Amino acid sequence: MQKVTLTVNGREVTAEIDERTLLLEFVRDTAGLTGTHNGCMEARCGCCAIEVDGDVVKSCNVLAVQVNGAEVTTIEGLSPQKLGPVQQVTTQTLAGVYEPLDAIRSSVEDLHPLQAAFHRCHALQCGFCTPGMVMVLKDYLEENPAPCRDDVRKAIAGNLCRCTGYQHIVDAAMEAAEVMRGAGATTTDD
């Protein structure tokens, strides 16, 4: 057993863990943040991508002990979390009969530009790959603020999406890049 301390989205989490614990497992099971998804456990799909000390990594292919003491940012850390504790699961919530943004008691302005762009461009269908896509694109766009569509496709080469055909994801990345550059006016439709 090994004592590991990580700062996850600004919150310090310390736990006595098995050396074999993957960073992914630490984030999901120990820190309790399930926004980071466990897709393939083979560093192929990219659904588990999170930032460690500012660099995006595939958390299923990193041991928690390897990054002891690091600052970790997960998808939950990108925008202020206003999600209250889930009171009860109703058929309505299961059927998704609610406005997603209402559910997190938040507004478009609170979202990270990438999250807002994903929402606006409908860059997800089932949403399983989305946390990884957003984290990788955030890391990429912060380093390359003005990419072309081909650059974006290369940047998310390690992220698999089986629903969208990537078209809308690239749209969203281009739109977010513009917002993050501060060049274009933030379109506040709907």
Q: Which of 6, 33, 47, 57 binds another protein (CB under 8 A)?
A: 57
Interface map 6-45 toward another protein (x if CB under 8 A): ------------xxx--------------------xxx--
> What burial letters (b/e) apply to 149-177, b meaning 16+ CB within 10 Å?
eebbeebbeebbbeebebebbbbbbbbbb
140 is an interface residue for another protein by CB under 8 A: yes
How many residues at the interface with another protein, by CB under 8 A? 28
Q: Does 49 bind another protein (CB under 8 A)?
A: yes
Could you tell me how far CA 122 lies from the centroid of its own chain? 16
User: What distance in Å separates the CA atoms of residue 172 and residue 115, rounded to the nearest whole number?
Assistant: 9
Tokens of 127: 């949403």
Helix (H, G, I), strand (E, B) or coil at 5: strand
Counting contacts by CB under 8 A, is residue 134 touching another protein? Answer: no
What residues make contact with another protein under the rule CB under 8 A?
2, 18-20, 41-43, 46, 49, 52, 55-58, 61-63, 65-66, 136, 139-140, 153-155, 157-159
